[in-house]
Amino acid sequence: MDANLATEPAGGPAQLVGLPATELAARVRSGELSAVDVVRAHLAHIASVEARVGAFRVVRTEAALAEAAAVDAHPDRARLPLAGVPVAVKDNVAVAGETLTDGSRAHTPAPQPTDHPVVARLRAAGAVVVGITRVPELSLYAATDGPGTVSRNPWDTARSPAGSSGGSAAAVASGGVPLAHGNDGMGSLRLPAAACGLVTLKPGRGVVPAGLGADDWSGMAENGALATTVADLAVAHAVLADGVPAEPLDGDSTPLTVAVSTRSPVPGVRLDAEGRAALEAVVAGLRELGHTVVRKDPPVPLGVALGTIARWLGGADADAELLGLDRHAMEPRSRTHARLGRLARRAGLVRPAASDGFRERMTSWFTGSADARDRPVDLLLTPVVTGPPLAARPWHERSFLANVSANARWAPWTSAWNSAGLPALVLPAGRRAGGLPTAVQFVGPPGAETRLLWLAAELERQQPWRRHAPVFDPAGPADAPARPTAPG
Contact 390, 406 (CB under 8 A): yes
Contact 175, 17 (CB under 8 A): yes
Q: Is 174 a catalytic residue?
A: no
165 Cβ contact list (under 8 Å, min separation 6)? 90, 133, 135, 139, 180, 182, 183, 184, 188, 189, 192, 226
CB-count exposure of residue 124 (10 Å: 0-12, 13-18, 19+) = middle
35 Cβ contact list (under 8 Å, min separation 6)? 28, 68, 69, 71, 72, 83, 84, 126, 128
- Which position among 164, 174, 218, 415 bears the catalytic label? 164
Helices (H), 14-132: 21-30, 35-53, 61-72, 117-124
Of 462, 444, 465, 463, the C-alpha closest to 453 is 444
Backbone angles phi, psi at 451, to 5 degrees: -60, -45
The Cα-based distances of 320 to 134, 139, 241, 262 in angstroms read: 18, 11, 28, 36
State the chain's maximal CA–CA distance in angstroms. 69
For 215, the enclosing helix (H) or strand (E) is none
Calculate ∠ Cα 92-80-119, nearest 5°: 10
- Which position among 34, 188, 261, 415 bears the catalytic label? 188
Calculate ∠ Cα 199-181-437, nearest 5°: 30
Q: Is 164 a catalytic residue?
A: yes
Distance separating the N- and C-terminal Cα atoms of the chain: 33
Query: CA torsion angle for 164, 53, 201, 316 (degrees, to 10)?
Result: -10
Catalytic machinery residues: 90, 164, 188
